[in-house]
Structure 1
């Protein structure tokens, strides 16, 4: 909203300084500072409200050190993250931008699913929360919306030929060539490869001429799968104080770098990467989101004064997935969100191996002492603050390696 006000003042009154709101970097910095302040200052009030409403965590008997002491700690702290993210976005972002609209819808959509799940657990006293099938339906619904908009909206385009110039000058003549154009495309980026662009439509090339118009049959299911997988991965990672918020902040910050360079014609030209018009505006949302996550850590770090609950974890996963897809870096998710992947994979392995050995030997056996992976290390006697810190370090290393893929091919 403030963006439009200052744009109006700059154009009609030419007031000195109002033009600075045109710059994404300036608005991103303001969004980060405001979200950080909102999450730390108003976060305390939200926690007090949750405590007064007796919105306390019900702790299962897992046999983990310090677990029982967490009983009654307020949950639904994801409301802090959502509030501190959306307020700066509404103030500083260009709200008519298609990517900003998608991210706001994602935040509210996944936040609502998570809120319903937490509400059932706390007030209905049902430890299972929202039935898994309804969670999946909600995630698939969001995937359908995001995939459909990204595929069919005329506002979503790419340019892969940023290195071409409109005019090549020689000492004797000017040779005019066709200017690069923005096109609809389902192209994405494959990390670590020199010719690193892959078009989902190519998977239908065997069907014959005109296969490009059926690319949505591949693209939309891929979007649905990624959103479902990443949101569930974030949900599983939210198991000990500060783990999900800290690792997510690192991943989102890295995505902010990808978003900024992909949305800037100069940087995308220099780095020889896909230019995505108007995507740079997502940087404002990203820095607001990072500020909210860091501010939430003020209260969520060990010993936690509040838990994010599914209200926060599902929202975080959904936002990360949509950001990666929008900036055409979804194939980097296994690396960038390696913590989510390992946590998710540890559960799948544990369950599969237990069922296999029970069928084969009549007794279920386990690979890990407990899944997800962070509980395995707790069982081994590591303090949860040490586990969280080391997972953060791994997340930083993975984020740096992901950023390096801009040049490492």
Structure 2
């Protein structure tokens, strides 16, 4: 909105408005705007959530130290979503379709999380939507994003080929063109693409959701991951940097740096209130929205296979749940004292603050490694 008004319309009247044409300038101000909205709106939203008795229900089988958190306001993720959407609408070039796709992912997964949180409150327990219901809705949103990307691919605005870390010349296409020639197998040609979209976007959404179990853990890791994604978006959209690093250039991808910067700012502001001991929890409305958005941005800039490194701790948390459930069903034995894995360390006697700090350190190391791989090709 400000890009259109101040740069496209008014720069000829007042030359300093040319600054609004620089994505780096708008990225910095988008981050600050998101941070201010989150900090200023936070106290009001916390009061409203308390007044409406929207409190967190605690797992009965969880660590006993968490029982004191019962009743803490939840659904604070609404603050995160607002703090991302408003600055993005203000500072991004809204003619860029990738920005709208990222915002749709944020709103779509946020709506699923909101419905899940609302269901928990209605039932007065820590279980909202069933796993199948939640997964079905998440798949619908992911497939809608995949469908839009296929339309863009047909116009030459998106590539369905994968970027593989360490292998610059190996770029397998997710669409089987040979099957697309036959009307009987036409649908099967797009199956790998849709399955990959579901794996990346839904997997990312659920990974962040499962990590959100300790005060500030998930949101702190999101600051780290979003920072790495901001850098990758800028590099992917910059002609010289993309050529130098032998990345697949994504025209207009640099506008996504603004979206990712708002995620940093919104997360920083939310961490102010979510740090241990938390005054508010993000709930599924926040965790699903942030995770789905991060996965969507990775898909848009063709860095899907770097995402497991950027969000390495999220992946470990997700895998710990998968392994725990699989082991119990197949062998009748548990691998961890409790899953997700952050609760395992709590059961070993680690203080909550120590688990959070050490997981943040691990997340930072993994994100830096992911950025380092850009030259290991």
Segments of structure 2 that go 5 or more residues without pairing to the other structure are none
Count of equivalent residues? 375
Partner of 1:131: 130
Partner of 1:120: 119
The verdict on how the C-alpha distance between 1:298 and 1:11 changes in structure 2, with shifts beyond 3 A counting, is closer
CA distance in 2, matches of 1:208, 1:109: 30
C-alpha contact 1:106 1:319 (8 A) present in aligned 2? yes
SS in 2 for 1:46: helix
RMSD: 2.0
Partner of 1:60: 59
Task: Select the residue among 387, 396, 399 that pairs with 2:367.
Answer: 399
Task: Select the residue among 290, 293, 304 that pairs with 1:330.
Answer: 304
Partner of 1:291: 265
Partner of 2:3: 3
C-alpha contact 1:114 1:310 (8 A) present in aligned 2? yes
Deviation at 1:153, TM superposition (A): 1.8
Task: Select the residue among 390, 394, 397 that pairs with 2:358.
Answer: 390
C-alpha contact 2:177 2:189 (8 A) present in aligned 1? no
CA distance in 2, matches of 1:250, 1:309: 20
Deviation at 1:196, TM superposition (A): 4.4
Partner of 2:141: 142
CA distance in 1, matches of 2:155, 2:202: 22
The correspondence of residues 85-234 of structure 1 with structure 2, limited to 5 A, is 85-153=84-152, 157=156, 184-201=158-175, 204=176, 215-234=189-208
Deviation at 1:214, TM superposition (A): 7.1
CA distance in 2, matches of 1:304, 1:9: 44
Higher Rg of the two aligned structures: 1
Moved more, 212-221 or 138-147: 212-221
Partner of 1:173: none
C-alpha contact 1:98 1:155 (8 A) present in aligned 2? no
CA distance in 1, matches of 2:186, 2:240: 29
Deviation at 1:144, TM superposition (A): 1.4
Partner of 2:45: 46
The correspondence of residues 9-88 of structure 1 with structure 2, limited to 5 A, is 9-13=9-13, 15-62=14-61, 64-88=63-87
CA distance in 2, matches of 1:214, 1:18: 50
The verdict on how the C-alpha distance between 1:53 and 1:381 changes in structure 2, with shifts beyond 3 A counting, is same
Deviation at 1:5, TM superposition (A): 0.8
C-alpha contact 1:300 1:306 (8 A) present in aligned 2? yes
CA distance in 2, matches of 1:127, 1:274: 43
Q: Deviations over 1:11-34 (max 9, x none)?
A: 552x02111111110000000001
SS in 2 for 1:188: coil
SS in 1 for 2:281: coil
Q: Deviations over 1:100-150 (max 9, x none)?
A: 111111111111110111111113324320122221121111111111111
SS in 2 for 1:5: helix
CA distance in 1, matches of 2:125, 2:354: 32
Deviation at 1:189, TM superposition (A): 0.9
Partner of 2:326: 352
CA distance in 1, matches of 2:93, 2:165: 30
Deviation at 1:332, TM superposition (A): 1.4
SS in 2 for 1:406: helix
Segments of structure 1 that go 5 or more residues without pairing to the other structure are 159-183, 359-364
Deviation at 1:65, TM superposition (A): 4.3
The verdict on how the C-alpha distance between 1:357 and 1:390 changes in structure 2, with shifts beyond 3 A counting, is same
C-alpha contact 2:226 2:294 (8 A) present in aligned 1? yes
Partner of 1:362: none
SS in 1 for 2:338: coil
Deviation at 1:301, TM superposition (A): 0.8
C-alpha contact 1:43 1:296 (8 A) present in aligned 2? yes
Task: Select the residue among 255, 268, 273 that pairs with 2:242.
Answer: 268
TM-score (norm 1): 0.87
The verdict on how the C-alpha distance between 1:157 and 1:381 changes in structure 2, with shifts beyond 3 A counting, is farther
SS in 2 for 1:198: coil
